[in-house]
Amino acid sequence: MEIFNTKKSLRNFLDSKSENVKVGFVPTMGALHEGHLSLVRCCRNQNEVVVVSIFVNPTQFNDKEDLANYPRTLDKDLELLRQEHVDVVFCPSVEEMYPEPDTRTFDLGGLDTTMEGAFRPGHFNGVVQIVTKLFEVVLPHRAYFGEKDFQQLTIIRYIVNQLNIPVQIVPCPIVREPDGLAMSSRNMLLGANERQAAPLISQVLFKAKDLKNSLSVSELKKWVVDQIDANPYLQTEYFEIVDDVKLQPVNSWEDPVAKVGCIAVRAGKIRLIDNIRF
């Protein structure tokens, strides 16, 4: 496994490969778990060269405390990636990726104004800043993103299309803990009481899918929030049922669009997100 810290050294290595070699890319912020590794395995199955980046991107954090507390476990991450037979790991510094401030602002077609965007202003612009920078360095044929971050996945697809970036975006299913909690690097920051309460989020979402035939969209949204907020360790920030392309609110089950329920919940100081298809 090759490990690079500079864009130039990574690019020189990839340029040494045959033009016919397919390069797959998994961008991460580290603190790797089984969800990330599922992306790596999918990438491994579809490409000759697997590149994983580990970079905690400061421009997508609008909360400095969240950035400071984000888990960093580089040695463990590298060992996990060795076990998965990853070819290349890119671990740049902030100075390497941002030698000067990135002042680019992207038109994300309104996809960034709802849900996560409403609670984390500027977050998705920062995500697109780093993803486009990484794409410019890696030049992957395919890039792999988890469906847990559904709004992010939708925005990445949108910007790749808008900017005509020649990469195939491959979505990968949510991976869950045995108790149903969606895997997240932030899970390791949960206190004991919050960790015990957190599986309620997915339990309520699964139940909501069963209830959709007996409740209206607005009734179901209220039911979900009420169920989660009844737990003293959980507080819903939002639960929205949207279409899966434009992320516009769905008002009726009869609306002829594919529907996704997206949720963000605070468990103590930790924000957890999840979603389910209806």
Of 172, 193, 222, the position where a domain reaches its end is: 172
Residue at 178 is within a domain: no
Q: How far is CA 125 from the centre of its chain?
A: 14
- Find, among 28, 33, 31, 25, the residue nearest to 182 by Cα: 33
Same domain, 66 and 116: yes
Residue at 177 is within a domain: no
**For 38-54, what is the mean pLDDT?**
98
Number of structural domains (the chain) is 2
- Rg over alpha carbons for the chain, rounded to the nearest Å, is 19
Same domain, 163 and 44: yes
Same domain, 191 and 53: no
Residue at 37 is within a domain: yes
Same domain, 71 and 193: no
pLDDT for the residue numbered 62: 86
Of 144, 172, 200, the position where a domain reaches its end is: 172
Same domain, 9 and 41: yes
Residue at 137 is within a domain: yes
Same domain, 95 and 226: no
Distance CA 137, CA 127 (A): 16
CATH number at residue 220: 3.30.1300.10
Confidence of residue 173 (pLDDT cuts 50, 70, 90): very high
For the ranges 42-46, 131-135, 191-195, 210-214, the lowest mean pLDDT is seen at: 210-214
Query: Hey, what are 245's tokens?
Result: 């392309």
Same domain, 157 and 257: no
Confidence of residue 18 (pLDDT cuts 50, 70, 90): confident
Mean pLDDT score across all residues of the chain:
96
What is the three-class DSSP state of 132?
A: helix
- Residue 63: pLDDT above 90? no
Same domain, 76 and 107: yes
Same domain, 232 and 134: no
Residue at 162 is within a domain: yes
Residue at 180 is within a domain: no
Same domain, 194 and 250: yes
Respond yes or no: is residue 36 known to be catalytic. Answer: yes
Residue at 254 is within a domain: yes
Of 137, 172, 207, the position where a domain reaches its end is: 172
**For 143-147, what is the mean pLDDT?**
98
Q: Which of 36, 85, 123, 141 is catalytic?
A: 36
pLDDT for the residue numbered 159: 98
pLDDT for the residue numbered 185: 93
Residue at 179 is within a domain: no
Same domain, 19 and 133: yes
Residue-wise pLDDT for 69-102, tens only, equals 898 999 999 999 999 999 999 999 999 999 999 9
Q: What residue numbers bound the domain in which 206 lies?
A: 185-277
Same domain, 16 and 81: yes
CA 174-125-89 angle, to 5 degrees, is 55
Residue-wise pLDDT for 224-254, tens only, equals 999 999 999 999 999 999 999 999 999 999 9
Q: Residue ranges of the alpha helices (H) in the chain?
A: 7-15, 34-46, 64-69, 74-83, 94-97, 116-119, 123-138, 150-162, 192-197, 200-211, 217-229
Helix axes 123-138 and 150-162, enclosed angle (nearest 10): 60
pLDDT for the residue numbered 100: 96
